[in-house]
Structure 1
Amino acid sequence: MTAGGSPISSWTVRWQFGDGQTITQSWSATISTSGSQVTATNVSYNGALGAGASTQFGFLGNANGANSVPTLTCVAS
Protein backbone atom coordinates (compact mmCIF):
# COMPACT_ATOMS: atom_id res chain seq x y z
CA MET A 1 0.00 0.00 0.00
CA THR A 2 1.33 3.45 -0.92
CA ALA A 3 -0.27 6.69 0.25
CA GLY A 4 -0.88 9.25 -2.48
CA GLY A 5 -0.33 12.97 -2.10
CA SER A 6 -1.96 13.11 1.34
CA PRO A 7 -1.33 11.15 4.54
CA ILE A 8 -3.69 8.28 5.42
CA SER A 9 -4.68 6.80 8.77
CA SER A 10 -5.78 3.33 7.64
CA TRP A 11 -5.98 1.07 4.60
CA THR A 12 -7.85 -1.96 3.27
CA VAL A 13 -7.03 -4.23 0.34
CA ARG A 14 -9.69 -6.56 -1.10
CA TRP A 15 -9.54 -9.29 -3.72
CA GLN A 16 -11.25 -12.48 -4.78
CA PHE A 17 -9.51 -15.79 -5.37
CA GLY A 18 -10.81 -17.41 -8.53
CA ASP A 19 -9.22 -20.83 -8.28
CA GLY A 20 -9.93 -22.06 -4.74
CA GLN A 21 -6.79 -20.64 -3.12
CA THR A 22 -6.71 -20.31 0.66
CA ILE A 23 -4.60 -18.26 3.06
CA THR A 24 -2.81 -20.15 5.84
CA GLN A 25 -0.70 -17.41 7.44
CA SER A 26 -0.25 -13.65 7.14
CA TRP A 27 1.93 -10.87 8.49
CA SER A 28 1.67 -7.08 8.71
CA ALA A 29 -2.10 -7.20 8.03
CA THR A 30 -5.25 -8.64 9.52
CA ILE A 31 -6.72 -11.02 6.94
CA SER A 32 -10.35 -12.11 6.86
CA THR A 33 -12.02 -14.34 4.31
CA SER A 34 -15.58 -15.10 3.29
CA GLY A 35 -15.66 -17.81 0.67
CA SER A 36 -13.35 -16.61 -2.10
CA GLN A 37 -13.43 -12.97 -0.92
CA VAL A 38 -10.33 -11.78 0.98
CA THR A 39 -9.93 -8.55 2.97
CA ALA A 40 -6.60 -7.34 4.36
CA THR A 41 -6.57 -4.39 6.77
CA ASN A 42 -3.70 -2.58 8.40
CA VAL A 43 -2.43 -3.53 11.84
CA SER A 44 -1.70 -0.98 14.57
CA TYR A 45 1.84 -0.18 13.45
CA ASN A 46 1.36 0.31 9.69
CA GLY A 47 -2.00 2.05 9.17
CA ALA A 48 -0.85 5.67 9.36
CA LEU A 49 1.28 6.59 6.37
CA GLY A 50 2.63 9.98 5.42
CA ALA A 51 2.13 11.34 1.92
CA GLY A 52 4.00 9.10 -0.53
CA ALA A 53 4.97 6.58 2.17
CA SER A 54 4.35 2.86 1.74
CA THR A 55 4.06 -0.38 3.67
CA GLN A 56 3.82 -4.05 2.77
CA PHE A 57 2.01 -7.14 3.99
CA GLY A 58 2.33 -10.75 3.02
CA PHE A 59 0.71 -14.14 3.29
CA LEU A 60 1.26 -17.83 2.69
CA GLY A 61 -1.41 -19.91 1.08
CA ASN A 62 -2.45 -23.03 -0.76
CA ALA A 63 -3.45 -23.32 -4.40
CA ASN A 64 -5.47 -26.02 -6.12
CA GLY A 65 -3.84 -26.33 -9.52
CA ALA A 66 -4.55 -23.08 -11.39
CA ASN A 67 -3.43 -19.89 -9.71
CA SER A 68 -4.68 -16.88 -11.65
CA VAL A 69 -3.67 -13.41 -10.46
CA PRO A 70 -6.51 -11.59 -8.65
CA THR A 71 -7.41 -7.93 -9.15
CA LEU A 72 -6.80 -5.85 -6.02
CA THR A 73 -9.01 -3.04 -4.75
CA CYS A 74 -7.26 -0.64 -2.36
CA VAL A 75 -9.05 1.83 -0.09
CA ALA A 76 -7.37 4.36 2.18
CA SER A 77 -8.87 6.74 4.73
Structure 2
Amino acid sequence: MAEYQQPSRTCPECGVTFSCSANRQCWCMEMPAVLPLDSSSNAGACYCRRCLSKRVAAQLEQLIASKTS
Protein backbone atom coordinates (compact mmCIF):
# COMPACT_ATOMS: atom_id res chain seq x y z
CA MET A 1 0.00 0.00 0.00
CA ALA A 2 1.33 3.43 -0.92
CA GLU A 3 2.08 5.76 1.96
CA TYR A 4 0.20 9.07 1.94
CA GLN A 5 2.51 12.03 1.58
CA GLN A 6 1.42 15.48 2.59
CA PRO A 7 1.66 17.97 -0.23
CA SER A 8 4.57 20.35 0.01
CA ARG A 9 4.01 24.08 -0.22
CA THR A 10 6.32 27.01 -0.60
CA CYS A 11 5.79 29.95 1.72
CA PRO A 12 5.23 33.10 -0.37
CA GLU A 13 6.75 35.21 2.43
CA CYS A 14 10.12 33.51 3.06
CA GLY A 15 10.35 30.78 0.39
CA VAL A 16 10.74 27.84 2.79
CA THR A 17 9.17 24.53 1.71
CA PHE A 18 6.88 22.85 4.25
CA SER A 19 4.25 20.11 4.48
CA CYS A 20 0.58 20.97 4.41
CA SER A 21 -2.09 18.42 5.26
CA ALA A 22 -4.74 20.76 3.77
CA ASN A 23 -7.44 19.59 6.16
CA ARG A 24 -8.68 20.12 9.70
CA GLN A 25 -5.69 18.22 11.14
CA CYS A 26 -3.21 20.71 9.69
CA TRP A 27 -1.14 22.64 12.25
CA CYS A 28 -2.49 25.90 10.85
CA MET A 29 -5.94 25.06 12.23
CA GLU A 30 -4.47 25.66 15.70
CA MET A 31 -3.95 29.33 14.83
CA PRO A 32 -6.50 31.99 15.86
CA ALA A 33 -9.23 32.48 13.26
CA VAL A 34 -8.50 36.08 12.25
CA LEU A 35 -8.69 35.58 8.50
CA PRO A 36 -8.49 37.16 6.09
CA LEU A 37 -5.06 38.32 7.16
CA ASP A 38 -5.01 40.98 4.47
CA SER A 39 -6.26 41.72 1.00
CA SER A 40 -2.94 41.15 -0.79
CA SER A 41 -2.59 38.79 -3.70
CA ASN A 42 -1.20 36.16 -1.28
CA ALA A 43 -4.22 36.32 1.06
CA GLY A 44 -5.29 32.74 0.25
CA ALA A 45 -1.79 31.28 0.21
CA CYS A 46 -0.34 28.75 2.64
CA TYR A 47 2.36 30.24 4.86
CA CYS A 48 4.94 28.39 6.93
CA ARG A 49 4.38 28.29 10.69
CA ARG A 50 6.79 31.16 11.41
CA CYS A 51 5.40 33.51 8.76
CA LEU A 52 1.77 32.67 9.50
CA SER A 53 2.40 33.30 13.21
CA LYS A 54 3.86 36.73 12.38
CA ARG A 55 0.91 37.57 10.11
CA VAL A 56 -1.67 36.47 12.69
CA ALA A 57 0.10 38.50 15.40
CA ALA A 58 0.08 41.60 13.17
CA GLN A 59 -3.62 41.15 12.41
CA LEU A 60 -4.42 40.72 16.12
CA GLU A 61 -2.49 43.90 16.91
CA GLN A 62 -4.52 45.80 14.30
CA LEU A 63 -7.79 44.43 15.69
CA ILE A 64 -6.84 45.40 19.23
CA ALA A 65 -5.72 48.86 18.13
CA SER A 66 -9.00 49.45 16.29
CA LYS A 67 -11.00 48.53 19.40
CA THR A 68 -8.97 50.72 21.77
CA SER A 69 -8.82 53.89 19.70
- Which of the two has higher C-alpha Rg? 2
* Larger RCO, structure (CA 8 Å, separation 6 or more): 1
In the superposition, the TM-score normalised over structure 2's length comes to 0.24
